Structure 1
Amino acid sequence: MGGVINDRLVDAGELPIAVRDFGGSAPPLILLHGAGGNLAHMTTLARALRPRHRVITMDLRGHGRSGDGPWSWDAALADVAAVVVQMELDRPAVVGHSLGGMIAALWGQRHPEAPGVVSLDGNPPPTRTEHLPGMDVRKAADQLAELQRVFDRMAAETGRVVPAEQLPDLVERQQAAARDMGANEKVWIEGFRRNLVHSGGETSLRPSAETVASLRTLISDLDLDPVYRATRCPELVVLPTRNLPEQEGFAEVYEAHRRFVREQAEASGVRYVQLADASHAMVIEQPELLASLIADFLATA
């Protein structure tokens, strides 16, 4: 297939899944984005991986150009399986960021034949005081309650209708955000526009409020410890070492949670790497380093 990039829709049964194939004949790798994103947000990492892998990115259900359908871990894994079958991928590696990393971990648990799975900070956020070792329990509970209020406010903005006159301003704000984060501006704007839905003369943002509510429940209920322990294929978890700017108000919470995630990984025996000077936005911050880390891991797994 050479270096030709090809977009297509895959029939996943109950809904279509949008796929971008970066081409190449090297070992196949499926790259999954996080909640609220889409395949465009993985473009820079996909390009960095392409010299050593045939990279396939996809919009998760309810995101980007994929169809809407009820969210469950089984449904998401079935979507990935449909892509594997219809793209004729032979034992692909699965790599995911955030929500995509959780799906990658679950894929590894169910597919011992996989050459490897990589989770790029695919960890549920803290929701209970036991997720925050070393913190005063009362303070931890108060901080978690406040953090949930922040997430509630963010969720209330999802799926909303965007008045036409506000779209140019939104695009400008996205361009500024891309510059602030050092992201590829063209790729970032494609990602923003890819989550816009135009219907009945109105424009709204994906994912929908219903999808976000389902994802919040699924993610908060997910316990990765038994998943890690049951996984037989090679697995790597890449962890951040610093906060996003918007996390600084909860710096003690996130530091304690990073400690919890490290302890969980160590106890379950999963291989992990703490990426220096990286936050949850590591895919944007250090795509070349991540690509090298992923490809080297899969080559030696």
Structure 2
Amino acid sequence: MKVLALHGAGGSPQDWEKVVTELAGEHEVVPLPVEGPWDWESVLDRLEPHATGNPAVLGISMGGMVAALWARRHPECPAVIDIDGHGVPTQAQRHVDPDLAAIAALREAFKQYGEPELQQALEDLDCFEVFAGVRSPMLLAVATRAMPGQLLFESYQAGLARDLPSLPPNITVTRYDGPHNILATDPHLVATLTREFLAGR
């Protein structure tokens, strides 16, 4: 099966090299750049020329969010695999009891990455609203371990525990023993999740 692979913020198509290699002969994984301008409909429009043959879509972090947006646009999509792309910790609605001062401080810290338009676009995107409109079979893989220095992880996880049960039945949620940057730390696990979810589709 052809699979479009979408990297996270600050990443590149090269992030998928080990997954491409591991799945070669089983699936044609096609890594694509995910670039601005950060109007989500225009991001999807730039992916359309690569989507011949009704591919599955695989994404991590921001790329997982875009994969879900793709599936909402394309209900005929055969499968979506979203690796830990369910929102950002600067979204107060993703916390059970949001610490607004801590969220504001984290928002300021994110400014050092120098992509304010992307940061705002991610914060404005409510992934759970997107998930509610997805009709394709979808795997949402959720990290269970924080990266070093990751702020508001426990508060955000509590919000996920509250919100994940509201997802429609076509979305399968699995939790993996690893951090958000699992594509870098354990690409074999990403390949395994992909292989298992695509089996028989």
Assess same fold via TM > 0.5.
Answer: yes
Distance 1:116 1:51 in 2: 19
Q: Distance in 2 between matches of 1:96 and 1:42?
A: 10
Residue 292 (1) aligns with residue 192 (2): yes
Is 1:256 matched with 2:155?
Answer: yes
Give distance in 2, aligned partners of 1:128 and 1:90. 36
What's the counterpart of residue 271 of structure 1? 172
In 1, are the aligned partners of 2:55 and 2:77 still within 8 Å (CA)?
A: yes
Q: Structure 2: which amino acid aligns with 1:230? A: G
Per the TM alignment, residue 114 of structure 1 is displaced from its structure 2 partner at its CA by 1.0
Q: Secondary structure at the match of 1:246?
A: coil
Q: 2:87, 2:94 within 8 Å by CA — same for their partners in 1?
A: no
Find the counterpart in structure 1 of residue 180 from structure 2. Answer: 280
Match of 2:14 in 1: 40
Question: Match of 2:136, SS?
Answer: coil
Query: Considering only CA atoms, is the larger Rg found in Structure 1 or Structure 2?
Result: 1
Deviation at 1:127, TM superposition (A): 2.2
Aligned equivalents of 1:263 and 1:114: distance in 2?
28
What is the 5 A alignment of 1:166-185?
none
- Rate the CA distance shift 1:115–1:219 in 2: closer, same or farther, 3 A: same
Match status 1:152 vs 2:114: no
Amino acid at match of 1:281: N
Q: Is the 8 A contact 2:64 2:82 kept in 1?
A: yes
Structure 1 outlier segments of 4+, above 4 Å:
none
Cα offset, 1:131, TM superposition:
2.1
SS in 1 for 2:149: helix
Distance 1:46 1:262, change over 3 A: farther
Aligned-partner Cα distance in 1 for 2:154–2:49: 38
Q: Which residue of 2 aligns with 1:236?
A: 139
* Gap change, CA 1:226 and 1:145, over 3 Å in 2: closer
1:103 counterpart letter in structure 2: V
Give unmatched runs, 5+ long, in structure 2. none
Instruction: Deviation per CA, 1:162-221: give whole Å up to 9, x if none.
Output: xxxxxxxxxxxxxxxxxxxxxxxxxxxxxxxxxxxxxxxxxxxxxxxxxx2221111101
Q: Where does residue 66 of structure 1 map in the other structure?
A: none
| Contact 1:96–1:120 (CA under 8 A) maintained in structure 2 | yes
In 2, distance between residues paired with 1:148 and 1:95?
Answer: 27
CA contact (8 A) 2:57 2:80 kept: yes
Contact 1:265 1:271 in 2 (8 A): no
| Count of paired positions | 199
Select the residue among 33, 39, 49 that pairs with 1:82: 49
d(CA) in 2 for partners of 1:129, 1:241: 20
Q: Could you give the per-residue CA deviations for residues 238-257 of structure 1, whole angstroms, max 9, x where no partner exists?
A: 1111111131xx3xx21121
Q: Which deviates the most, 227-236 or 40-49? A: 40-49
Q: Which position in structure 1 is the counterpart of 2:129? A: 226
Deviation string 1:80-119 (CA, Å, 9 cap, x unpaired) is: 11112xxxx3110000111111110011111111110111
Equivalent-residue separation in structure 2 for 1:260 and 1:90 (angstroms): 37
Output the amino acid matched with 2:48. Answer: A
Question: Could you tell me how far 1:300 is from its partner in structure 2?
Answer: 4.2
Does the 8 A contact of 1:29 with 1:94 survive in 2? yes
- Tell me how far apart the structure 2 counterparts of residues 130 and 227 of structure 1 sit (CA, whole Å): 15
Give the 3 Å change call, closer, same or farther, for CA 45–259 of structure 1 in structure 2.
farther
* Unaligned ranges ≥5, structure 1: 1-26, 63-69, 156-211
